[in-house]
Structure 1
Amino acid sequence: MKRIHFFILLISSTLFSCQNEVKFTFENPLEVDRTDEVIVLSRADLAAKMDLAEGRLPVLKKADGETVPSQVDDLDGDGKWDELVLIVDFEKNQKLELCAELVAEESYPKYKKRTNLRLGIAQQDGSWKEVDTYKAIPYTEEFKIISQGEGVTWENDKIGFRVYFDCRNVKDLFGKLLPRMVADDVHTPEFGSYHELADWGMDVLHCGSSLGSGGIALLKNDSLFRVGSTDVYEYKKIVEGPFRSVFELRYSGWDVDGEDMEAVERITIYPGKYWFESDVTIKGCADNDQIVTGIVTSQLKDEPFAFKAADFQCIGTHGVQSLNNDELGMAVIVPKAEAGKIDRTSDINFFKLGYETVKEKGFSNIISETYYIGQKCQSGVPAKHYFFSVWGLEKDQWKTENGFKKYIGEEAEKLSAPIVKL
């Protein structure tokens, strides 16, 4: 795993002055307060203003000496950090001046974890070994669950997600009642069944043969092709930290209507958000093909919704549809300029019709029971979307569709008007 440093430096305001330090100024362009806002500074941003001495790492502080929570990330694996990630609260229209200085690498203590990432592989003694890279069992071989929680899990202090690490490649989710990180403990004897309600939460979603909570497909000639049953399905951890965790799912040998394609999905999760960020890159798609992201509808009793918010097109569902028989909301937002077809698949059970991809799970690779949105696909170019989910048991606001929509709209506005570096 790449080397990452987490830090907090406490300096008395009586000993610190911003006057002689390197300064960065940021502005909140909106008339709303913003909590847990993410600011990313590149190594070049820092190098333009200060000498990045070897063995020392940047710390940003407010004028009173308070350290801004942050982490430095090595994204390309060359042993040097590439980006500084800051977590900052802003009042409406606030301008904030931060001062940068370098601190000895060994002086940086750790922050409490607010994001987490894990792929654990089964060992002979029954334990799970965390890995940073791994290839799933080829779909041509006998189906076998080899991973903890059946797949890759990523989470923050609000919610958790997982994707099956096999040819199903369906995304699932954990509702949370506590800010506890659970991915490391799933499927251990002490943890209990995640299908049953516990103090931390539970698995709240039934996926079936749908796209689950944000699974990926390609829309080609009016047909949907799941990113699954590929020759190669590989996981690669990019970075795991208290304020940002990033990984990639890499696919090759993907047969799409007789054409051989490749795909990469890079997923990023931050603290304090009820969503994750996904960048999907497909090589080999035609200009009229669309990347598709979807939401399972198997338990949905109410009609799905769609609306525009700031720079985004949103689709979503809300209702009593969780495995705990309470309210669950899921949504996808896609940039309006890239948004494509919005539709709903049939509810046909293709497995019962003989299209049996995984007999042990009653799973068919043909997508059904899914509400989806398309997004322009340009070969080799990443397409970004955000997947949201909320659980009514966790917060009263999530018990109503309007409460969920309000949150989506607020987040879409913030994503459309990021914090400005002056």
Structure 2
Amino acid sequence: MKARLFIAFILVGLLSSCGKQAGLSFQNPQNVERPDEVVVLTKAELVQKTGLAEGQFPLFKNADNSLVPFQLDDMNNDGNWDEVALLLDFAPGETKKITVEFSDGTDYPPVFEKRTNLRLGIKQEDGSYKEVDSYRALPCSDGFKVIAQGESVNWENDKIGFRNYFDCRNVKDLFGKRMPKMIIDKIHTPEMGSYHDLADWGMDVLHCGSSLGSGGIALLKNDSLYRLGSTDVYEYQKLTEGPVRSVFELRYKGWEVDGDMLEAVEKISIYPGKYWFESDVTVTGCPAGSQIVTGIVTSHLKREPFDFQTGSFQCVGTHDVQSLNNDELGMAVIVPLAEAGKIGRTTDINFFKLGYETVPEKGFSNIISETCYIGQKCASGQPAKHYFFSVWGLDKDQWKTEEGFKKYIAEEAEKLSDSISFL
């Protein structure tokens, strides 16, 4: 089983074609409720536990005979599913038994509520946007042009939305939500209107400037930060999208860092019910002593950032009246203690105004400023994992205070430190 708190598995309803049954058991090791836990099993693990045969398809049911939301995912893009993700709720200390039934594929799979979503829409000649599963961004060497819906690769769950600019800026941004519905398919369209204005669903809540925004990536070498941007190649690749999880990769080649040419892949996963996304960053060719860095914008910050250890993680974060709606916004990063590196804060100098104009159309400089950050050890070819959190005061009273935000971070860190067990 993958070492993670999630047990993701999309399960299909009981069909007339079902025959053989088997069982799976999972245990919550903590004495707390754990709703919306995603548990991921490989196909090999499922076959070993249940005897699932070629040509059969699994369905998953709770003790009360209700269907367990699940999805079958082809993570290596070979045309065959190789992982199953289950969405389960656990009572404190509960051992949950799931019945697995087998279908011949008739009326399969069942439809579950969509609680995660991905979108990269590319602008067409008629002004519409066509969703794509893979695409290469335009280089900025020949000028700057927005080609993507919302200017970005977008991802969301039922709690919050994120985007990563699909151009040489490569900065992450935030959509705050006031209701649990999917919205990114409609951003940047007449149907939604301006996502910079407060609407019934929420709004774009973050000012990024030339910072790292809400979890942008850089490399720290000899006390200098180098943005993961303006690379020779910048590609998006969807891996899976569904009700239980959505996963994609951002792939880079030709990343120049102080004379070294590096490659990088950021694999981003989002799950239902969480105010965070998971990121695995793999850099090939790390210079000696360098660190992978994740950062948070500080341009509207009036209080100092916070940092603390919780569970097996180091946390760095901010909480302030800093949203574009002039209300409370909290952002934080947690990284494994064993990998945690330098915690720092950049200058607030506006380098764009000094003439470092990478993207004049957007008032953007490639030199990172107005950012607090945390580093992780960079081992060439080895992924470095972190989790990026964000909450908006307009969504929930708990998010109006730093203490309420920290409490949530600590609770989630404990769960990530003590994952659901597959028995």
Contact 1:11–1:66 (CA under 8 A) maintained in structure 2: no
1:183 maps onto 2:189 in alignment? no
Distance 2:52 2:14 in 1: 21
User: What residue number does 1:408 align with?
Assistant: 409
Give unpaired runs (5+ residues) of structure 1: none
User: What residue number does 2:97 align with?
Assistant: 97
User: What residue number does 1:9 align with?
Assistant: 13
Aligned residue pair count:
413
* 1:10, distance to aligned residue in structure 2 (A): 4.8
Question: Which amino acid letter does the alignment assign opposite residue 146 of structure 1?
Answer: I
1:288 maps onto 2:289 in alignment? yes
Question: Which amino acid letter does the alignment assign opposite residue 60 of structure 1?
Answer: F
User: What residue number does 1:199 align with?
Assistant: 200
Q: Residues 76-133 of structure 1: CA distance to partner in whole angstroms, max 9, x if unpaired?
A: 1111111110111101111111122222323222112100000000000010000111
Q: Residues 47-83 of structure 1: CA distance to partner in whole angstroms, max 9, x if unpaired?
A: 1133433443212222332221111111111111111
Distance 1:182 1:297 in 2: 26
Runs of 4+ in 1 over 6 A off after TM superposition: none
User: What residue number does 2:230 align with?
Assistant: 229
Distance 2:295 2:167 in 1: 19
User: What residue number does 1:36 align with?
Assistant: 36
Distance 1:142 1:25 in 2: 56
Q: Residues 127-155 of structure 1: CA distance to partner in whole angstroms, max 9, x if unpaired?
A: 00001111111121110000000010000
Q: Secondary structure at the match of 2:106?
A: helix
Where do 1:250-289 residues align within 5 Å?
250-289=251-290
User: What residue number does 2:3 align with?
Assistant: none
Q: Secondary structure at the match of 1:86?
A: strand
Greater alpha carbon shift after TM alignment, 108-117 vs 48-57: 48-57
Contact 1:9–1:67 (CA under 8 A) maintained in structure 2: yes
Distance 2:301 2:106 in 1: 52
Distance 2:159 2:250 in 1: 23
Question: Which amino acid letter does the alignment assign opposite residue 349 of structure 1?
Answer: N
Contact 1:286–1:378 (CA under 8 A) maintained in structure 2: no
Q: Residues 223-262 of structure 1: CA distance to partner in whole angstroms, max 9, x if unpaired?
A: 0000000000011111111110000000001110000000
User: What residue number does 1:334 align with?
Assistant: 335
Distance 2:104 2:342 in 1: 52
Q: Secondary structure at the match of 2:391?
A: strand
Question: Which amino acid letter does the alignment assign opposite residue 264 of structure 1?
Answer: V
Question: Which amino acid letter does the alignment assign opposite residue 52 of structure 2?
Answer: L
Question: Which amino acid letter does the alignment assign opposite residue 151 of structure 1?
Answer: S
Contact 2:10–2:68 (CA under 8 A) maintained in structure 1: no
1:312 maps onto 2:308 in alignment? no
Q: Secondary structure at the match of 2:79?
A: coil
* 1:28, distance to aligned residue in structure 2 (A): 0.5
Where do 1:23-422 residues align within 5 Å?
23-107=23-107, 108-422=109-423
Q: Secondary structure at the match of 1:234?
A: strand
Distance 1:287 1:56 in 2: 50
* 1:11, distance to aligned residue in structure 2 (A): 7.5
Q: Secondary structure at the match of 1:49?
A: helix
State the Cα RMSD in Å: 1.6
User: What residue number does 2:4 align with?
Assistant: none
Distance 2:379 2:157 in 1: 31
Distance 2:177 2:100 in 1: 36
Contact 2:10–2:86 (CA under 8 A) maintained in structure 1: no
Contact 1:154–1:161 (CA under 8 A) maintained in structure 2: yes
Q: Secondary structure at the match of 2:292?
A: strand
Contact 2:11–2:61 (CA under 8 A) maintained in structure 1: no
Distance 2:231 2:44 in 1: 38
